[in-house]
Structure 1
């Protein structure tokens, strides 16, 4: 084992058996880099991150990669949820260098910690080639690296400087201009922004909901309603057990990276609660109640705090970790479980090309409300609602037999505060004392 076996973070412990000589971020590791005059590899991720697992399997578990990393570098692993302060510094550097960011995030830095190169996910051969070239440059052309590092450092410093000038009085014209520009990016087919991947960004819709209500802007309110409804009907929301995945990779909120994060679900509880206060939309109530139930069941500790996340990956039938294995269904599985109700279920949840993901797997998604489907199928709405509940209960019981996604059992104060705020907003919206 490497030094990470001494840590408590689930993410760091996942890497404890890697052949890479990982160290945690601490004074000893940083002092060793300066004493031995070695470049530092700083690799940042989190336990529920799918692409972090992919890069670990492809590179960090590989002896050839480990040999390169161990020979020339001090290798430091960081849990971005445990050390958001360090993550923020190197994320800004990666965004300046590459124009984008994300996790896993991998940075090479000078012995004093100043970044010289970085990015996100790298394939094995690309990773090896980059490290070998950087080490060669460090040995034979150090001045070029130092010149670049200084320019990067100056650029990062300039981003941090807040210009000193007198504050201008606030007026709504500023918001009106913002909204006018923002609306050009609205997706009026599926809600959210007209791009993929689609992140939920709850604060954005909290703002649009409040602004639309205060200014009587029905168009904005309609857009928020469209977005919240499409998110609730999409595969992003776990209709069987509640809770939202982190984001969708497509335009229609259908296929997520399946990790469920505490900070997302806490903020979304607040958002749907405030939207329910305004609309009394029963779909929002369903989302709130299911998400509350999910959080209490999966994340509430005996001490009354909340765990952090569920992984995107879980063990499949062949006992291999696979993204989404816990959540997806084949047509044959659904037919066996639902029998004579399968045809109607397939209409509601799109067991068809619209709902197909890959390799014969389906991620449940609605593209019409139950009211419209009931009318089209010439059955009462009440009957369809009861059938949907019954289907979800059957599938939930069957799904519980599968291997569950791994749990990140950190309890973060800030995320707990976000979740508790969500519970508070849910109580105020639903006025149920048992929340």
Structure 2
């Protein structure tokens, strides 16, 4: 295909950047020499940040960046830089903070205009064509006529960007108590939607790390109200249109309060975390809906987002081509009544009730997004059939619709592979194996772990952030290390293969040597050897993906249990001290950190299982949801871990329940071990 315009993005591998390679804008990718050239030419930099699955990014591209008149203004006055936020979260952090300080809100596309040295002084998200051209001309004129004023504003903004990221070492306050944690949950729960789940607002994001903590808290506190809220939310999300009932997998968020109409993009990071969450919830409830959700989500990921080498791609676009060849959001996923009647025939009436082909399930323009509002038992009773008969009919209908949907134009695939998101998916697969006892998930997890260690590691023992077409060229960020360390540790716990644990420890030590900030006693997002703009970010707030520092604190605490002679535990404790002042008023923004409160304040057990039957006993133990534990063991006499050393007994596989390395008398059955931990009560 011949293109009228081609810019330097044609040499990039990111699908998002390649989408803009034939814009008339003279886009270029972020590079180390960019600002030196801008300073030399005394030219402003226009930075536009987005990602491949972003709907409004596509809209702005079509309206502005594909327009030659707009491009003429941009090219004349600015060095124009396109950034894939998923490739360069370090830069996105800085400019997102700047945008929120300037406008009070954020989002993508994220557009900022900066001085030649990268300090921003103007920002916006989506802007219409004429407004975009007008404001760019005004900014160029302002810098030309009154650069001193612009520089002064940029200096003040840069100082603000630095100051909002400062974290002071807390050497005075005691560790956050369980009573304080209870108070935090009471405050947080005022936002809960106890009927539809999530928070009382729209749009609704799934926030898996929030629900993961609340599942932990509700379990250890035996708090029925919290447990009910978690289960309502999980049920409503699995019922909702945010879950793809035909092909499996979750979309990014719902635009309404009932989880019905999603923003249709599907992200690997969401689905990896949701697999973990639903697998844990299945372990606590044995709810078959949760098991089904795990299974169908993994099926989706394996089919749509897995490369031949077992790395996982990043996302599917929200948009796809309609019958007229126009990009339209959600067109791949929705159905009309006439389509469903024609395809499903006699089963349509049951399917209509099951997935609400009515006012409740209607989206717009005669299109329906499938949504459940009743259990299988309720629908089966209404139609005087058994649950098995109903399930068979619904499965048959879904197969018909899936076959038909395959004929449609598919959403675009973002086929770059990100280390951090693969770490989240790897952890999801391990948890799915752990709690559903599916060995196929373990096999897939091991293949993905081997992919990460083969293709995403550097010669220096670190990690890359990205991979595409056999090449990795961006140094890893803290999120890459944290998620992979956590996943490899989880993989060790279900296999007792110490190679996974030792590799995780190597990466943990690499982080301490290359990312740890002695002043704040937290970790920088970028390595100390990598370049940065304005500040070296310290990420502490949990969002849809937990903060890299909160994941690191989890890893340090658990490795401290396994390697008590190292300084891991002390570092984890200091990290929580540094951020805990935020917990009372903003628990939801620090949900992954909150796990560390019961870890420290309640009994936390180290489980050691050693003997010929170790793996079988561990598999049974692992199927229980036991958040206050680490598990180790070996079926051999030797182990690198002190907890498992010198515990081998011929023809016996004892289980040791320990706290801070001090162990109870060994027992021979899982039931006895659970009693020692207070999970089961003796008769």
Normalised TM-score (structure 2): 0.63
In structure 1, what is the equivalent of residue 52 of structure 2? 47
What SS is found at the alignment partner of 2:190? helix
Q: Which runs of 4+ in 1 moved over 4 A?
A: none
In structure 2, what is the equivalent of residue 304 of structure 1? 310
Gaps (5+ residues) in structure 1? none
1:352 to 2:353 alignment: no
**Superposed counterparts of 1:165-176, under 5 Å:** 165-166=170-171, 167-176=173-182
In structure 2, what is the equivalent of residue 372 of structure 1? 378
What SS is found at the alignment partner of 1:77? strand
Shift of 1:31: 2.5
Q: Determine the C-alpha separation between the residues in 2 that align with 1:260 and 1:169.
A: 39
The one-character-per-residue Cα deviations of 1:341-378 (angstroms, maximum 9, x if unpaired) are 21221111111111111111111111111211222333
Shift of 1:198: 0.8
- Report if aligned partners of 2:94, 2:161 keep a CA contact under 8 Å in 1: no
Shift of 1:132: 1.5
The one-character-per-residue Cα deviations of 1:290-334 (angstroms, maximum 9, x if unpaired) are 111111111221212111111111111112111111101111111
The alignment's C-alpha RMSD in Å is 1.1
Shift of 1:215: 0.3
In structure 1, what is the equivalent of residue 156 of structure 2? 151
1:120 to 2:125 alignment: yes
Name the larger-Rg structure.
2
The one-character-per-residue Cα deviations of 1:164-214 (angstroms, maximum 9, x if unpaired) are 442422211221111111111111221001111111110000000000000
Shift of 1:246: 0.7
1:56 to 2:61 alignment: yes
Normalised TM-score (structure 1): 0.98
In structure 1, what is the equivalent of residue 14 of structure 2? 9
- Report if aligned partners of 2:250, 2:270 keep a CA contact under 8 Å in 1: yes
In structure 2, what is the equivalent of residue 386 of structure 1? 392
Q: Determine the C-alpha separation between the residues in 1 that align with 2:337 and 2:170.
A: 63
Pick from 68, 71, 80: which aligns with 1:66? 71
Shift of 1:34: 1.3
Pick from 261, 266, 271: which aligns with 1:260? 266
1:288 to 2:287 alignment: no
Number of corresponding residues? 435
Shift of 1:407: 0.8
Q: Determine the C-alpha separation between the residues in 2 that align with 1:196 and 1:257.
A: 12
- Report if aligned partners of 1:23, 1:29 keep a CA contact under 8 Å in 2: no
Shift of 1:217: 0.4
In structure 2, what is the equivalent of residue 198 of structure 1? 204
In structure 2, what is the equivalent of residue 101 of structure 1? 106
Deviates more, 1:177-186 or 1:374-383: 374-383
In structure 1, what is the equivalent of residue 87 of structure 2? 82
Gaps (5+ residues) in structure 2? 1-5, 442-683
- Report if aligned partners of 2:44, 2:77 keep a CA contact under 8 Å in 1: yes
What SS is found at the alignment partner of 2:313? coil
In structure 1, what is the equivalent of residue 329 of structure 2? 323
Pick from 26, 29, 35: which aligns with 2:34? 29
Q: Determine the C-alpha separation between the residues in 2 that align with 1:377 and 1:174.
A: 50
- Report if aligned partners of 1:4, 1:16 keep a CA contact under 8 Å in 2: yes
The one-character-per-residue Cα deviations of 1:380-400 (angstroms, maximum 9, x if unpaired) are 222211111111111001101
In structure 2, what is the equivalent of residue 234 of structure 1? 240
